[in-house]
A = this chain, B = another copy of it.
């Protein structure tokens, strides 16, 4: 069985998006800056990290808001993923997009489905913040890959909240510095 990998890009002050993310502005006000390491400022090292993520993943889990704001209708109806994607959603669209399976029973059902598809490969949980928070709070993950963009966004959607009551120990086992992000891989201790 593969691992469950949570990934998220944050500003140094912990935001995953600017204020007011929505269908016309998926990253919120000023939030597109966070993804410079994937787009505007991408280097070979960044590509290597993305490649590793794609190649090791057998399926991907996406939150309903992220799907609605950043994927549906954005990529011309196609899936941007090279593997099947599970959307944790409150409703199932009448005409589900190709490559996407909708799960309305929450993250554990989604993970079960994702694991079945992934087989020995990893399940990649790509976010948004609310989905990542649920996986951390329920303690069903193996690693967290955090990409810290070198910017203080000051305001936006925070990643680290609603995580439960007790502190969570991690081990940072790998770090890569690029102009667009400090990429840190954590595993559970």
B contact residues around A153 at 8 Å (CB) = 167
A135-155 residues with Cβ-Cβ distance < 8 A to B are: 136, 146, 148, 150-154
- Residues of A55-97 contacting chain B, CB below 8 A: none
* Measured CA separation A164–B171 after assembly (Å): 33
Q: Contact between B182 and A175 (Cβ–Cβ < 8 Å)?
A: yes
The number of chain A residues with a CB under 8 A from chain B is 31
A14 to B158, CA, bound (A): 11
Copies of this protein in the complex: 2
Say whether, besides A14-B13, A160-B14, A151 and B175 are in contact (CB < 8 Å).
Answer: no
Residue among A33, A170, A172 with max Cβ neighbours from chain B (10 Å): A172
Q: What would 18 more interface pairs be, CB under 8 Å, given A152-B168, A175-B175?
A: A12-B146, A13-B14, A13-B160, A30-B167, A136-B152, A150-B169, A150-B172, A151-B167, A151-B169, A152-B163, A152-B167, A153-B167, A154-B163, A154-B164, A154-B166, A172-B182, A175-B177, A175-B182
